[in-house]
Amino acid sequence: MSNVDLKLLDSLSSEQKNACVCMENMLLTACPGSGKTRTVSYKLAFLVNQFQGSRRLHIAITYTNRAADEIMARLDAMDVTADNIWTGTIHQFCMEYIIRPYSMYSDRLRRGYHIIDEYVQREYKREIRKSLGINCKDWELDKHPRIKEAYKKLLMQRKEIDFEDILIESLKILEQRPYVAENIASIIASIQVDEYQDTNENQYKILAEICKKNNEIIISFIGDVNQAIYGGLDGIAKTKDEISSLFEQEFLEKHLTGCYRSIQQIVDYYSNYAVNRIEIASMRTDSDKDAIISFEDSISKEELADHVAEIVKERLDQGEKEEEICIIAPRWELIFSMANKLRMKLPDVMFNAPDITPFKYDPMNPFYLLAKLTFMKTQGHEKTRKRYANDVIGMLKNDYGINIKKGFDCFTLLKIINSVIKLSDADGIEVYKNVVGRVMSSLKVDLSNEEALENCYNQFLEKTYDRVRNNSLSTTCCDLTKCFEEKHGVVISTIHGVKGEEYNTVIAFGLLNGLVPHWNDIFEGDRRNTAYKLLYVLGSRAKENLYLISETGRTTSKGALYTATDEIVNVEWEYTKL
């Protein structure tokens, strides 16, 4: 069917349905497991149905690309016609609707620009540190005024912008050229902002500049103040009144309060860490089921992997699927080490752990997307591949000024990529370079005559070779194909990495002062709020079982012993004895 059957809303709860059919501006607070993403998806479907015949857009702004993909997958499953639905991050929105079409109105961007990622940013700042003779650690680079000033000058000289600049320049264009905001506002029917608590000030202002030019735009902010774990990136959870004042419009406040994920004991436990305490009721039919909630602070780091392996084996023996178990730590280095040890101790168990791959994830880089299109599987991913191919063409045309010849479309690009033979044991990077060469040849592009595009390509290859060399990675076509395959098994990730996910069993370790919360938050920030939000997110991932571990024996760089996170120690709870 081309339009959503409104009977689909019958599967929603009354709170979810009320949020979906609300045609006014709305701040929707959603507790963990209340069906937030489901509600956003159904609301988009409902709006498409309500605006039948209209070409105006329905925008869903997400914090991650993964969340955007999930929303599109849900809409595809509902067979919703998504021609006038756009999903993506705020940076992608700014590029698509502000910078690419209106960069000529920016003094900085009108002569061309190139987006750099975190890798290039870090390398630039390290080079500046060295040239200025400044003695500071990598994590202090962003705080040093001379480095910051020199970095900004360097970007200006090289006609480059970083992610922060995307927001700054977008806001300048909207504020200095009001008719740009009017043009954008005229093509939008609705905006849904997911995880609004992680929105920063410039992002709020960008959306406000647009919405103030068309008060018919229906805008919804959806999220949970208690899960605002990106405060270090300047995320702000504004109140309804603050949002109303900024947007100069009235907002309703609605709530999703029922938890369909966790049994009540789990809900009651993680509620101890709520910064803004609310009553949450488990809506599961077995809500009164007994949970396993344990806290151990006497296991040494040497015993840790064995202990975690025992828990995993026990849960699997109880009939749980591998995908229903998640192991969480606050830092990636702890994750990599634990993943390697568990693979050795449990060779028959599959683990979905982050691996360092040759190609650094960067969906706003056309050469990353070309790598993904080269090595991702084709069957069952036709819509996604078509979308990526269109993105590549759009970036080449709009970001780098490449003349796309008539008739060269996403199907042409995919045909070129698919025509390259990829033998399983061939050098994948050489195959990738062959793909890039064929694409450029088809477009009649000589990279040596396209400075910005050539720099982007060379930097991408440099990053790739660095990652291969520094981590001794294999680069056969078979290995690179695995990098883009959907992984299965016991999930191993960070607290930030599992935000929005859910598992029957959660096993968390590294719960130590200095890690949760980080030393910066202990000495310079609001340690209690930061720790509470991290622990709230961590605990609310679990459906039935939650194992918390503050291992002993870890030491700081100065040799001091790490201790169990105070905020956990101070909670009064009758933990399960293992």
Helices (H), 226-329: 240-247, 264-270, 301-317
Distance, in Å, from the CA atom of 562 to the CA atom of 555, rounded to the nearest integer, reads: 6
| Residue entry with tokens 């683990």 | 351
Architecture field, domain 264-353+488-569: 3-Layer(aba) Sandwich (3.40)
Is there a contact between 32 and 227 (Cβ–Cβ < 8 Å)? yes
- pLDDT for residue 4: 44
- pLDDT for residue 233: 65
- pLDDT for residue 10: 87
Distances (CA, A) of 473 to 319, 462, 470, 491, 550: 35, 14, 8, 22, 32
pLDDT tens string 397-439: 988 989 999 999 999 999 999 999 888 889 999 999 999 999 9
The two beta strands, 542-549 and 26-30, are: unpaired
- pLDDT for residue 1: 35
Residue 451 makes CB contacts below 8 A (sequence gap 6+) with none
Q: Which two tokens stand for residue 345?
A: 């101790």
- pLDDT for residue 370: 98
Three-state DSSP state, 425: coil
Tell me the three-class secondary structure of 247-267, residue by residue.
HCCCCEEEEECEECCCCHHHH
Residues of the chain with pLDDT under 70: 1-6, 232-233
Helix axis angle, 201-211 to 178-186, nearest 10°: 70
Q: Where in the chain is the domain with CATH 3.40.50.300?
A: 6-98+168-256, 264-353+488-569
- Which residues fall in the annotated binding site? 30-37
pLDDT tens string 120-165: 899 999 999 999 999 888 878 888 899 999 999 999 999 999 999 9
Q: Which two tokens stand for residue 178?
A: 């009001």
Distance, in Å, from the CA atom of 527 to the CA atom of 516, rounded to the nearest integer, reads: 9
- pLDDT for residue 143: 84
The two beta strands, 218-223 and 252-256, are: unpaired
- Which residues fall in the annotated binding site for ATP? 30-37
Distance, in Å, from the CA atom of 388 to the CA atom of 33, rounded to the nearest integer, reads: 31
Indicate the CATH number for domain 6-98+168-256: 3.40.50.300
Chain centroid, CA 222 distance in Å: 16
Backbone angles phi, psi at 375, to 5 degrees: -115, -10
- pLDDT for residue 2: 40
